[in-house]
Copies of this chain bind each other. A is one copy, B any other.
Amino acid sequence: MTKKKTVKWAHKDLLGLEYLSREDIELLLDTAESFREILDRKIKKVPALRGKTVVNLFYEPSTRTRVSFEVAAKRLSADVINIAVESSSVKKGETLNDTGRNIEALKADIIVVRHNCSGAATMLARNVNISVINAGDGWHEHPTQALLDIFTLRKKTGKLEGLNVSIVGDIAHSRVARSNIWGLTKFGVKVTVCAPKILIPPEIEKMGVKITDNIDEALADADAINVLRMQFERDDMKAFPTQLEYFRNFGVTEDRLKKSKKNIIVMHPGPINRGVEISSQVADGANSVILEQVTNGIAVRMAVLFWVSQTKDKDVHTKHEVVNEATY
């Protein structure tokens, strides 16, 4: 952390990119830049959160996100407690708020919550004084995924303003798409969403995005493409045509990339379905930054954990109105 400037971080929680300003997001990205360098060192650990406890409270299974937060917290020297709902007292009928207040009473410092209901993280954050980080709530937001996407994009291109980014896939059910749209548009990125018509949510254009159901159109001017995972294992996808048909019509392949900008950046939040939404050649090809996204995800989550814990350090408990001045 070589830069010296006085910054304001005003949030107890990270609930969604909708609620952050461009300056908030830039602060997180700049801090993540510092942490990203640490990840290339031999000893990849810093004592920033020593003595703090981070609880991963997961109501949906998600190895990727849980492990990424666990690694990020441990790199900051925090203690990590994993709670998966299947084997927990939640089954016995305890409410999310009661579970949250119990975790607060354990004197934990941060709850990282993944929940299948939109708004779950926000409700929880209002009911506890400790920090809540949204690790994905229903179809609402997945802010740390979008932050790592934006971080990766900024790192690759130098600046975000004026870029064209296309998001391809099941936009209707995607918290990743929503968080990306909230975040990218704050930086003046022009966002296009591309999906079969039934997977485009009504009134999405009000978020300031262009819509197309033509993958070639989505690729034409794009500086970057963010390919979403098609979750054919979901019940409400049963009515959908076959995976092969999806691949033919929307799959991101080398042939399609040939007609796009030469340096187009290919992103995917993972886990990838080879031969469904993306071909293996593209996933493993020169334009793909998919694995860099994973590494950057650690740095971004370290930054989020760091900043929300800083707010707590000041013992300012006024929810959502906290202003924290810190030098970093």
Contacts and interface: CB of A to CB of B under 8 A. Distances in A.
Contacts of A86: 87
B39 A98 contact: no
A51 interface: yes
Interface of A is mostly: mixed
A63 B83 contact: yes
Interface in A29-65: 39-40, 42-45, 50-51, 53, 55, 61-64
Contacts of A291: 101-102, 104-105
B71 A292 contact: no
A27 interface: no
How many protomers of this protein does the assembly include? 3
Contact of A51 (B44, B71, B81): B44
A92 B276 CA distance: 13
Interface of A: 39-40, 42-45, 50-51, 53, 55, 61-64, 67-68, 70-71, 74, 79, 81, 83-84, 86-95, 98-99, 101-102, 104-108, 229, 231, 233, 270-274, 291-292, 294-295, 298, 313
Given A63-B88, A67-B106, 12 more contacts: A45-B51, A53-B74, A55-B67, A63-B87, A63-B90, A67-B81, A67-B83, A71-B106, A71-B107, A93-B271, A98-B270, A102-B294
